[in-house]
Amino acid sequence: MASVTATSHSPISADHLCVGYGKRPVIEGVTLDMQPGELLVLIGTNGSGKSTLLKTLAGLIKPVHGDLHLLGEHAGQLPKRVAYLPQHPVSSHTLPLCVRDMVAMGRYAHLGLMKQTSAHDREIVEESMTRVGIEAEADQPIRDLSGGQQQRTHLAQVLARQAEVLLLDEPTAGLDINGRKLVADLVSAERARGVTVVMATHELNDAEHATSVMLLAQRVVSVGPPEVALRDEFLRECFGFTQPH
Amino acid sequence: MNFLFGVFVDDQQLRLELIAGLLVAVTCAITGTFVVLRGLSFIGDALAHGVLPGIAAAMLLGVSGMLGAVVSAVIMMSGVGIVNRRLRLSGDTAIGLLFVGMLSLGVLITSRSVSLVGDLEEILFGDIAHVEWSTISVQLIALICIALIFTICRRPFLLLSVDEGLVNTSGFSAKLFHNVMMAMVATTVIVSFQTVGTLLVMGMLIAPAATGALFARRISSMIMIAALSGSISVYIGLLASYHYDLAAGASIVLTAVILFALSAIFAETRKSISRRHDDDHDHEHPHAHGHVHI
Q: What angle do CA A154, A168, A121 make, to 5 degrees?
A: 45
CA distance B229 to chain A (A): 17
Closest chain B residue to A84 measured between Cα atoms? B169
Write the CA distances from A224 to A47, A207, A227, B155, integer angstroms: 21, 11, 8, 40
User: What's the rounded mean pLDDT across residues A175-196?
Assistant: 92
Q: Tell me if A97 sits within 8 A of B219, measured CB to CB.
A: yes
Give the Cα separation of B160 and A58 in Å (integer): 17
Whether the per-residue pLDDT at B233 is higher than 90: the answer is yes
Q: Do A97 and B158 touch (CB under 8 A)?
A: yes
Q: Do A96 and B212 touch (CB under 8 A)?
A: yes
- Chain A residues whose beta carbon lies within 8 Å of the beta carbon of residue B159: 105, 108
User: What's the rounded mean pLDDT across residues A123-129?
Assistant: 97
Give the Cα separation of B204 and B226 in Å (integer): 9
Write the CA distances from B55 to A195, A231, B17, integer angstroms: 57, 69, 21
B170 interfaces chain A, CB cutoff of 8 Å = yes
**Mutate: best of A21, A73, A74, A108, partner B, most B CBs <10 A:** A108
Whether the per-residue pLDDT at A208 is higher than 80: the answer is yes
Q: Do B159 and A105 touch (CB under 8 A)?
A: yes
Q: Give the mean pLDDT of chain B.
A: 85
Give the Cα separation of B245 and B248 in Å (integer): 8
Give the Cα separation of B213 and B201 in Å (integer): 19
Select the more confidently predicted residue: B231 or A45.
B231
ipTM > 0.95 for the complex? no
B37 interfaces chain A, CB cutoff of 8 Å = yes
Give the Cα separation of A160 and A85 in Å (integer): 12
User: What's the rounded mean pLDDT across residues B238-250?
Assistant: 90
pLDDT confidence of A245, banded at 50, 70, 90?
low
Residues above pLDDT 90, as percent of chain A:
62
Whether the per-residue pLDDT at B291 is higher than 50: the answer is no
Whether the per-residue pLDDT at B88 is higher than 80: the answer is no
Class of domain B2-273: mainly alpha
Rounded to 10°, the helix A119-132/A147-160 angle is: 140
Select the more confidently predicted residue: A199 or A87.
A199
Chain B residues 246-265 within an 8 A CB cutoff of chain A: none
Nearest by CB to residue A177, choosing from B158, B216, B294, is: B294
User: What's the rounded mean pLDDT across residues B253-259?
Assistant: 95
Q: Tell me if B213 sits within 8 A of B37, measured CB to CB.
A: yes
Whether the per-residue pLDDT at B286 is higher than 70: the answer is no
Longest dimension (CA), chain A: 56
Return phi, psi of residue B113, to 5°. -120, 120
Q: Tell me if B211 sits within 8 A of B229, measured CB to CB.
A: yes
Whether the per-residue pLDDT at B294 is higher than 60: the answer is no
Residue A1: the pLDDT is 66
Q: Do B170 and A58 touch (CB under 8 A)?
A: no
pLDDT confidence of B112, banded at 50, 70, 90?
confident
pLDDT confidence of A190, banded at 50, 70, 90?
very high
Residue A43's H or E segment, with its range, is strand A39-44
pLDDT tens digits, residue range B129-177? 788 888 899 999 999 999 999 999 999 999 998 888 899 999 999 999 9
Select the more confidently predicted residue: B59 or B149.
B149
Give the Cα separation of B72 and A78 in Å (integer): 39
